[in-house]
């Protein structure tokens, strides 16, 4: 069963120009994400992950290609329309705590600051903010300032802030890179819980395979394109009754199947490691079809 597609990237290209120099950050990236999915985006530094996330979130626009989020065509929007879209549809969690929270506001004030004040009165807003802080397990610290919290706690508050506008999509750019690995797993579990309970679509960038291995779908990016995808065959199984949101630790790499992506021109990107393992070290390969399988092998010398 295919769910509604909430993010569709079609041949996205992003070129940055830095004093005469052009940087190709995205090179024709195709991607679809369904409503309610929780995916991770994995890739080396500089591969284009943040650029992609910023474009999905309407913070940046592509040089070419199309980006649709729900029925909004972001590639056609003006700055003010993008801002409106962002305010209503997207929640962001950044890597650095200081980009997520105002240091001069308390925890609850930070959450309230992004809520829409118009319709409701202040008490109602406070109630809603408190409920969000309960969702992330931070209600008891509502009157502290960010500097009085640990890195992991700050990120929990950042998640509550990101959810305060009731977004359809939560975008998180390496939200766990500044915390230790135990805290990183707790943050991931919290995101899982919010994904399951609130149905919010979550796209998380990481370079930590220990985290991405716990997620149903991992999209790997290399050189500004989707290179491969990993899909978990079994659904994830998170125990929410546990206060620490434990997930089963027997979920390991074996249950993943790896997929490579054919682009619109039927091109396939193979990673270096695959080629190394197959002993392919030339740029000419032999391609044959055997039993509905395409076999790519090293050019054989005997054939000459
Ligand atoms: P990642 O998040 O995967 O580390 P980025 O999306 O940040 O990668 O960057 C992709 C490429 O684009 C890199 O080469 C980076 O230096 C370049 N880049 C990103 N943002 C800018 C910018 N604002 N100006 C110029 N180059 C940029
Ligand atoms: Mg980045």
Q: Which residue owns the Cα nearest ligand 1 atom 12? A: 25
Tell me the per-residue pLDDT of 5-19, one tens digit each, with 9 for 90 and over: 999 999 999 999 988
pTM of full prediction above 0.85: no
Tell me the CA distances in angstroms from 157 to 73, 131, 161, 289, one per residue in order.
31, 12, 6, 54
Q: Which residues contact 171 (CB under 8 A, 6 or more apart)?
A: 53, 56, 57, 90, 91, 92, 93, 203, 204
Angle at 17 between CA 15 and CA 18, to 5 degrees: 140
Confidence of residue 268 (pLDDT cuts 50, 70, 90): confident
- The set of protein residues with a Cβ atom below 6 angstroms from ligand 1 is 16, 18, 23, 25, 43, 45-51
Is-contact 162 170, C-beta < 8 A? yes
| Residue, of 238 and 266, whose pLDDT is higher | 266
| Residue, of 166 and 255, whose pLDDT is higher | 166
- C-alpha 280 – ligand 2 centre gap (Å): 31
- C-alpha 5 – ligand 1 centre gap (Å): 27
Tell me the per-residue pLDDT of 32-63, one tens digit each, with 9 for 90 and over: 999 999 999 999 889 999 999 999 999 999 99
- Site to probe by mutation for ligand 1, drawn from 22, 44, 46, 175 as the one with most ligand atoms within 8 Å of Cβ, is 46
Q: Does the pLDDT value for residue 237 go beyond 60?
A: no
Tell me the per-residue pLDDT of 192-224, one tens digit each, with 9 for 90 and over: 888 988 999 999 999 888 888 777 789 999 989
Q: Give 85: exposed, middle or buried? Use CB within 10 Å, 0-12, 13-18, 19+.
A: middle
């Amino acid at each position: 069963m295919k769910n509604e597609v909430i993010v569709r990237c079609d041949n996205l290209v992003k070129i940055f120009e830095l004093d005469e120099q052009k940087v190709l950050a995205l090179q024709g990236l195709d991607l679809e994400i369904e409503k309610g999915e929780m995916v991770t985006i994995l890739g080396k530094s500089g591969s284009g992950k943040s650029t992609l996330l910023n474009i999905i979130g309407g913070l940046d626009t592509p040089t070419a290609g199309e980006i649709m989020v729900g029925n909004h065509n972001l590639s056609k929007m003006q700055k003010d329309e993008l801002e409106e879209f962002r305010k209503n549809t997207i929640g962001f969690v950044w890597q650095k705590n200081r980009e997520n929270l105002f240091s001069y506001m308390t925890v609850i004030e930070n959450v309230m600051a992004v809520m829409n004040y118009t319709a409701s009165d202040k008490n109602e807003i406070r109630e809603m903010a408190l409920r969000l802080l309960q969702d992330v397990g931070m209600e008891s610290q509502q009157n502290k300032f960010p500097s009085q919290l640990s890195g992991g706690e700050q990120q929990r508050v950042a998640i509550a802030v990101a959810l305060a506008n009731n977004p359809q999509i939560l975008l998180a750019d390496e939200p766990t890179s500044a915390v230790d690995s135990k805290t990183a797993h707790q943050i991931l579990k919290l995101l899982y819980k919010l994904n399951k309970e609130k149905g919010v679509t979550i796209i998380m960038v990481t370079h930590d395979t220990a985290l991405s291995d716990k997620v149903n779908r991992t999209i790997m990016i290399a050189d500004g394109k989707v290179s491969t995808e990993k899909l978990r065959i079994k659904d994830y199984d998170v125990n929410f009754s546990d206060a620490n949101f434990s997930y089963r630790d027997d979920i390991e790499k074996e249950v993943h199947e790896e997929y490579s992506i054919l682009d619109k021109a039927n091109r396939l990107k193979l990673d270096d490691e695959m080629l190394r393992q197959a002993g392919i070290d030339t740029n000419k390969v032999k391609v044959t079809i055997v039993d509905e399988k395409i076999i790519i092998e090293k050019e054989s010398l005997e054939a000459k």
